[in-house]
Amino acid sequence: MANFMLAYHKSENSKPPESPEAGAEHMNKWNAWVEGLGEIMVNPGTPLGMSRTVSSDGVADDGGANPLMGFSVVEADSMEAALEIAKSCPFLEMGTIEVAEMKQM
């Protein structure tokens, strides 16, 4: 089994929940998803604030081309299995998920 990072990105169609009740409903879906994964959820991660991008040209304050909103780490047998986990994530209602295997150094 390998660890895979699920990186949550804001998309052009991303919008926050329209009300506190909608936000609570989304959190209930998120919590149920995390609990349903059981032990394969290595780290449910954390939401992130707006990032700043550092390059040799300086610092950009706009979050970059593909703003990162948060991450999780799951354990899976293969990339295909990790993709299936990502496909079941309620974050897809708000944005996109990038999946990458975490390699050992």
Question: What are 38-84's pLDDT values in tens digits?
Answer: 999 999 988 888 888 888 999 988 777 788 889 999 999 999 999 99
Assess whether pLDDT exceeds 80 at residue 14. Answer: no
Domain boundaries, the chain: 2-48+65-101
Eight-state DSSP code of residue 91: G
The architecture that CATH gives domain 2-48+65-101 is 2-Layer Sandwich (3.30)
Q: Distance between CA atoms of 96 and 105, rounded to whole angstroms?
A: 28
CB 4 within 8 A of CB 87: no
Work out the mean pLDDT of the chain and round it to a whole number. Answer: 91
Handedness of CA 6, 39, 45, 104 (dihedral sign): negative
Closest of 77, 81, 97 to residue 89, by C-alpha: 97
**Residue scoring higher pLDDT (73 or 18):** 73
Q: What is the pLDDT of residue 100?
A: 98
Q: Is the pLDDT of residue 96 over 80?
A: yes
- Residue 17: per-residue pLDDT: 81
Q: Please state, for a pLDDT cut of 70, what percent of the chain lies above it.
A: 100
DSSP 67: -
